[in-house]
Amino acid sequence: MLYKAEKIVPYAANEAPKSVQVEQMFDEIAGRYDFLNHTLSLGIDKRWRKKGILTLRDLLPQNIVDIATGTGDLALEASRLLHPEKIIGIDISEKMMDVGREKIAQAGLAGKISFEWQNCSGLQMNDNIFDAAIMAFGIRNFEDLDKSLQEILRVLRPGGRLMFLELSTPEHFPMKQGYKIYSQFIPLIGQWISRSKAAYRYLPESIAAFPQNADLKAIMEKNGFVGTKYRKLSFGLCTLYSGEKSANCSNVNFSPSKTA
């Protein structure tokens, strides 16, 4: 059985796999994505990225993979704050990465940050090569959450760490009620700016359906991560998750059962 979130797709009438639909959606909005992202979050997303990257300072990672990199904002922040030797940004939307490539070139970081088309559920990468894996607002777009987490674990070196940010639903008054009202306007604002009704209808639907907090932490552990933890940011609008690959871990095949 699929996780509920894996059934949420951008184009309900389209029978294409979720990954294909997500790629199409981000290709459509790539040119306006950064503006929309910062507008819909009122600019708070920049603070969230910084907080996430700073949790990796103790690790001193030199080789980083930025998963679902989009236009490369998290990779840029990681380069600025951590000064690693190399960052590879991966995504299934070439148009999003094209925007990222322009930003990287303008920042003079083309020698440090590169981009590759990769689907996280089947990474074309060797085992044990990254000190850290980072991701911002991409995990709920995965077509196969378990397999993608297993692939991330595989390419991390023993002792390596996954850090990711994901939007979440506030649980307490008054933010819970305020978010419920605001989420009704997200599709309207998104469609007005991006001309894509599907993309910003999908956003609140996918957030609501995705496992959060302790549930997502348990899924990470089921797929082999240790030392997992999460921290709510901005009264629960965003959650920061992290987990590590055991220092004694050898890459093994997982066959975890899924729950709705």
Distance set, CA 17 to CA 9, 116, 117, 138 (Å): 9, 21, 17, 17
pLDDT per residue as tens digits for the range 181-235: 555 656 555 555 556 666 668 888 888 899 999 999 999 999 999 999 999 999 8
pLDDT digits (tens, 9 = 90+) for 99-153: 999 999 999 999 999 999 999 999 999 999 999 999 999 999 999 999 999 999 9
Q: How many CB atoms lie within 10 A of CB 190?
A: 24
| Dihedral angle sign, alpha carbons of residues 91, 94, 100, 105 | positive
Q: What is the pLDDT of residues 1-42, one digit of tens each?
A: 468 889 899 887 788 999 999 999 899 889 888 887 777 777
pLDDT reported for residue 249: 75
Q: Which amino acid is at 141?
A: N
Structural domains present in the chain: 4-244 (3.40.50.150)
What pLDDT score does 56 carry?
Answer: 98
Give the global pTM.
0.91
The Cα-based distances of 145 to 6, 11, 120, 121, 222 in angstroms read: 8, 19, 9, 8, 11
